[in-house]
């Protein structure tokens, strides 16, 4: 089974309010480019639910719902 990843969630407050959304950041991008921004999610223990989470900065697949479903079978 693939190791589950942790991530950070972040909202770009520089965008107009109507365009803002919650973005996922992998730990590497957070630590290298976005320190002090966002909030930590311990996905390795808490999980992610039926959604895909892809890093907004580098497109790293933090969690793939489809892969997770195949691994449970």
The model's pLDDT over 16-64, given as tens digits with 9 standing for 90+, comes to 999 999 999 999 999 999 999 999 999 999 988 899 999 999 999 999 9
In a domain, 1, yes or no: no
- Label residue 40 left, alpha or beta by phi (over 0 means left) and psi (-120 to 50 means alpha): beta
Structure tokens that stand for 44 in this block: 């390795």
- Residue 8 — φ and ψ, nearest 5°? -125, 145
Sorting pLDDT into bands at 50, 70 and 90, what band is 4? confident
The pLDDT score that the predictor gives to residue 72 is 52
| 2 part of a folded domain | no
71 or 38, which is more confident = 38
Find tokens 């999610």 and name the residue.
41
What's the pTM?
A: 0.80
What is d(CA 19, CA 13) in angstroms, rounded to the nearest whole number? 10
Domain that holds residue 35: 7-72
> In total, how many domains does the chain have?
1
């Amino acid at each position: 089974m693939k190791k589950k990843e942790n991530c950070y969630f972040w909202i770009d407050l520089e965008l107009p309010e109507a365009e803002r959304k919650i973005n996922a950041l992998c730990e590497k991008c957070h630590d290298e480019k976005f320190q002090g921004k966002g909030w930590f999610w311990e996905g390795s223990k808490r999980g992610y639910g039926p959604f895909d989470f892809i890093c907004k900065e580098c497109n790293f697949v933090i969690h793939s719902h489809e892969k997770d479903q195949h691994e449970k079978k």
